[in-house]
Structure 1
Amino acid sequence: MTKMDIAEVAASTGLTASALRFYERQGLIESSGRNGLRRTFDPGVLDRITFIGCARAAGFTLAQIGRFLVATPGDDELRARMAEKARELEQDIDRLTRMRDSLRHAATCTHAPLVECPEFKSRMT
């Protein structure tokens, strides 16, 4: 397994080296050693960083992500929070789907004014 130095991880993920060091200080990722003065990481860190980015985009805080990364099946409080977040995401998905469908319609609609178009309005509700 080939180690990646911090610059390679930064280039692969789009994160800065300082962000990677911050994630490491927060316990979200772990370096596997050093190559001179540079931290090195196992390639599996890329999957973890992808997960962290996805969780952040879903609205989780870094503290919540850190807790999730070490959770066990018996962590009932965390499971409840995850179920709550899944419900919130479902509502967001529904809202965004309606918006997407409305915008697709608006892109070809000839009704003036557009916001009074019955089909446009029906897609927004």
Structure 2
Amino acid sequence: MKALDIAEVVKISGVSPSALRFYEKKGLITPTGRKGLRRQYQAEVIQTLALVALGRLAGFTLDEIAEVVNPKGYAIQREQLMAKAEEIDNTIKRQAKVRDGLRHVANCSAPSHMQCPQFQKIIKAAQRSTTHPCPVR
């Protein structure tokens, strides 16, 4: 199997050399050696980098991705994937409510957005989601 040097991996994957080195430190990828000063990788590194990109897109941290992607193969943790899918669903629902509210306010006949009852509801909902109760001592 042909080894790819770091420049080829960068060109094919679009991942920067510094990111590749960082991914190595995190244990996501492993070079097979060096040819001169250039790191060499197995061709499978391209698929691994695609999985890393997908994981990041889904909102996983690099440490979470490292649990799934390892040099010995892939260990899919289905419960973790389902939990992330639920988290994404909840985010979509919240964002859709915000989108719908903003559209309403943009088209509201109130003289000012501050006079729009729907906008006031949005402000209160946003305040509730960012306020954390802190016990007074």
Is TM-score (shorter-chain normalized) higher than 0.5? Answer: yes
Q: In structure 2, what is the Cα distance between the partners aligned to 1:13 and 1:95? A: 33
Structure 1 residues 12-91: aligned runs within 5 Å = 12-69=12-69, 71=75, 78-91=77-90
Q: In structure 2, what is the Cα distance between the partners aligned to 1:24 and 1:44? A: 14
Task: State the 1:71 CA deviation.
Answer: 3.8
Residue 8 of structure 1 is matched in structure 2 by: 8
Relative to the length of structure 1, the TM-score reads 0.65
Task: State the 1:93 CA deviation.
Answer: 6.2
Aligned-pair identity (%): 41
Relative to the length of structure 2, the TM-score reads 0.60
Structure 1 residues 90-105: aligned runs within 5 Å = 90-91=89-90
Larger Rg: 2
**Deviations 1:75-119, CA, capped at 9 Å, x for gaps:** xxx54332211222345567889xxxxxxxxxxxxxxxxxxxxxx
- Three-state SS of the structure 1 residue aligned to 2:64 is helix
Q: In structure 2, what is the Cα distance between the partners aligned to 1:39 and 1:33? A: 6
- Three-state SS of the structure 1 residue aligned to 2:52 is helix
Q: RMSD across aligned C-alpha pairs, in angstroms?
A: 3.5
Q: In structure 1, what is the Cα distance between the partners aligned to 2:4 and 2:92? A: 36
Q: In structure 2, what is the Cα distance between the partners aligned to 1:95 and 1:3? A: 46
Size of the aligned set, in residue pairs, is: 120
Q: In structure 2, what is the Cα distance between the partners aligned to 1:56 and 1:44? A: 19
One-letter amino acid matched to 1:50: A
Q: In structure 2, what is the Cα distance between the partners aligned to 1:2 and 1:96? A: 46
List runs of 5+ in structure 2 lacking aligned partners. 97-137
List runs of 5+ in structure 1 lacking aligned partners. 73-77, 98-125
Residue 122 of structure 1 is matched in structure 2 by: none
